[in-house]
Amino acid sequence: MDGVTRMDEIRYFRMKIPSAEHVPVKLSGRAAPEDFGMLYDAVDGQQSVIDLGRNTGLGEFETTRGIYALVQSQHVAVHPPRVSGGPTALVSAVNGALFDIFSAAASGGKAGEVGESLASFAAGAGVYDMLFRGAGPGESGALDPERVAENAVIVAGGADPQNILKQMLHEYVSFALFSVGAALGSDVEAGVTLKVGPYLKTLRPQG
């Protein structure tokens, strides 16, 4: 019966904490809670729920229950699982998406137009200049993963660089898709979107 009860509770917790691989992050401007103090202190924005359970000795179930309570009290937010390989893996995902986008643009004779549109978007947003400093993009749209990862720390300004990077790169690739659609039509855009869907899923930011 205890096992059944726990299964029911876990299903309830999953409304706020989709998996044990999700990462709790403290929300600013909140005093430490009276309950779950040890768990709250251990939340560092890097460890997943299962990592916290292991490192605090609370185990996955008690940690999940504690994090759920901290989410409800607005002491923490829950972010998606961190990408294996960190920020450089995110940039590599972007490069895969951009390769497909620019290949489609080149096949339609519009690679230059798409490249110019994407460059205008990056320049207009301003912050991409800092993020891409010394990192490209090259003719195929590819970026230097190591340089972008280094620059992301500066752009984040103390926030989580991986989450900042997800948001910015997701917007960048989304605009690249829009650009290829504007240049070659909605049918081409739909086909390329289908190909780069797995990359966009990796880049999808929190919220």
Q: Give CA–CA dist 100/40, Å, rounded.
A: 43
Helix axes 145-156, 161-184, angle to 10 degrees: 120
Position 156 scores a pLDDT of 87
Position 16 scores a pLDDT of 84
∠ at Cα 203 (63, 42), nearest 5°? 25
> Which pair of tokens denotes residue 48?
């997943």
The alpha carbons of the chain give a radius of gyration, in whole angstroms, of 20
Under 8 Å between Cβ of 127 and 156? no
Position 115 scores a pLDDT of 93
∠ at Cα 101 (193, 135), nearest 5°? 125
The residue extents of the domains of the chain are 2-79, 87-203
Q: Give CA–CA dist 26/44, Å, rounded.
A: 7
Position 205 scores a pLDDT of 66
Check: pTM over 0.85? Answer yes or no: no
Q: Assign 10 to helix, strand or coil.
A: helix
Q: Give CA–CA dist 77/68, Å, rounded.
A: 9
> Which pair of tokens denotes residue 70?
């901290």
Position 83 scores a pLDDT of 67
Q: Each residue of 81-140: pLDDT tens digit?
A: 766 667 888 888 888 889 889 989 999 999 999 999 999 999 998 889 999 999 988 877
Q: Give CA–CA dist 169/121, Å, rounded.
A: 12
> Which pair of tokens denotes residue 180?
């290829």
Give me the residues of the chain with pLDDT under 70, please.
1-5, 80, 82-85, 205-207
Under 8 Å between Cβ of 58 and 42? no
Pairing status of strand 23-26 against strand 76-79? antiparallel
